[in-house]
Amino acid sequence: MKTNLIEQAENVFAPTYSRFPIVFEKGRGCVLTDIDGKDYIDFLAGIAVCNLGHAHPDVAKALTLQAGKLFHVSNLYYTIPQTALAERLIKLSFADKIFFCNSGAEANEAAIKLARKYSMGNGNKERYRIIAMEKSFHGRTMATLSATGQPKIRAGFEPVLDGFDFVPFNNIEALESAITPSTCAVMAEPIQGEGGLRCPGPDYLKTVKKICEENDLLLIFDEIQTGMGRTGKLFAYEHFNITPDIMTLAKALGNGLPIGAMLAKKEVADAFTPGSHASTFGGTPIVTAAALEVLKVFEKENIVDHAMEMGTYLKEKLVWLKQRHTRIEDVRGMGLLLGMRLNTPGAPIVKSCMENGFLINCIQENILRFIPPLIVTTDEIDSLIACLDDIL
């Protein structure tokens, strides 16, 4: 049955993914079960999406309740869950205003459009360029791949959109010399995710913020991967005592329901006018009811503090592995956004982990990434570490 299904799937899907030969049927907490009944402990969480694990009963219940009432009406009208979620996110963040959409790329599209509209609306039609980071990842739509500082992601789709200049992450001089009269914003992930889990150096982001203020540039943080407790704070910017002007969220916001959001300070957000930007599905009652319940569970179960604790625990264990295995070059990341760089390819280790019932992934060829649900336990971490110790 499994081989059949995989064959059928490969016949019909456009070949955009190279998938592992597992067919999943269900999940609970940090455990996923395939159609043969084999269990896997999930250290991927759907790529930093299922922060409360799989099939969280409270989220499932909120979703079911809302499904019995109303799926969708259009943003031509108001709904209770959409407004409640917006108010809660604003209360928890630096922002005053929010725009809902369906994915990370779409949230970044909104951020890029807003930065341009705000800057050009201030009377200077030449101010449209955004400085982005080398090795960044902002999405796969034409504008967001144009903002992504990885040539392999743009390859084959040129010409990309004009208006993005790239500087190396963690390099202040390069940033300063890239600013021109056409620059309107700086866009960055506070910790680079897909690009290799690179953390900012001490004071880097603080200095970036200062440079933005001095040059009247907007600061856009893509917190699609780092947000929602992943780094041990609800939003990663909280680690650095600064706030951006615009922030984007998606991935874990709905714990698996497709929802994205762009948050901004009022003065900036007000550059949009009715008709400037839109999304048919953006913030439907069904996804916002789920996301609202996610935030309630975060509060009720102290999820962000737990993520910080488990992140510290897992990082210590990874450092312990590094002392035992010369194949490990370094351990990197914050909270439960952690990675381990090897001096050999990571793919065979990902495969062995999978055979032993653990899901991890590998980015940039040789960096193993560990992004479990934030509800992960020390027992689950210990069992992964024992498995990695054996394999290495």
Ligand X SMILES: *Cc1c(COP(=O)(O)O)cnc(C)c1O
Task: Summarize as ranges the residues that interact with ligand X (CB under 6 A).
Answer: 103-105, 108, 137-139, 189, 193-194, 222, 224-225, 250-251
State phi, psi for 42 to the nearest 5 degrees. -95, 105
State the Cα–Cα distance between residues 44 and 259, nearest whole angstrom.
19
With contact defined as beta carbons under 8 Å apart, do 157 and 148 qualify?
no
Q: What is the dihedral of CA 82, 88, 89, 91, to 10 degrees?
A: 140
Nearest to 253 by CA among 110, 86, 371: 86
Q: How far is the CB of 114 from ligand X (least distance, A)?
A: 16
Q: Which of 94, 100, 137, 169 is catalytic?
A: 137
Angle at 377 between CA 371 and CA 383, to 5 degrees: 80
Q: How far is the CB of 138 from ligand X (least distance, A)?
A: 5
Half-sphere CA count of 260, side-chain side, radius 13 A: 24
Residue (224 or 349) nearer to ligand X, CB: 224
Q: How far is the CB of 101 from ligand X (least distance, A)?
A: 10
Active site residue 222: yes
Residue (79 or 192) nearer to ligand X, CB: 192
Residue (249 or 269) nearer to ligand X, CB: 249
Residue (234 or 388) nearer to ligand X, CB: 234
By beta carbon distance, the residue nearest ligand X is: 104
Q: Which of 164, 169, 222, 235 is catalytic?
A: 222
Residue (30 or 111) nearer to ligand X, CB: 111
Residue (249 or 328) nearer to ligand X, CB: 249
- Phi-psi group of 283: left, alpha or beta (phi > 0 → left; psi -120 to 50 → alpha; rest → beta): left
State the Cα–Cα distance between residues 35 and 32, nearest whole angstrom.
10
3-state secondary structure of 311: helix
Q: How far is the CB of 107 from ligand X (least distance, A)?
A: 8
Q: How far is the CB of 348 from ligand X (least distance, A)?
A: 25
Active site residue 203: no
With contact defined as beta carbons under 8 Å apart, do 314 and 379 qualify?
no
State the Cα–Cα distance between residues 169 and 153, nearest whole angstrom.
18
State the Cα–Cα distance between residues 379 and 182, nearest whole angstrom.
53
Active site residue 137: yes
Helix H or strand E segment including 388 = helix 378-391
Q: How far is the CB of 287 from ligand X (least distance, A)?
A: 13
State the Cα–Cα distance between residues 93 and 233, nearest whole angstrom.
11
**Residues annotated catalytic, as ranges:** 137, 222, 251
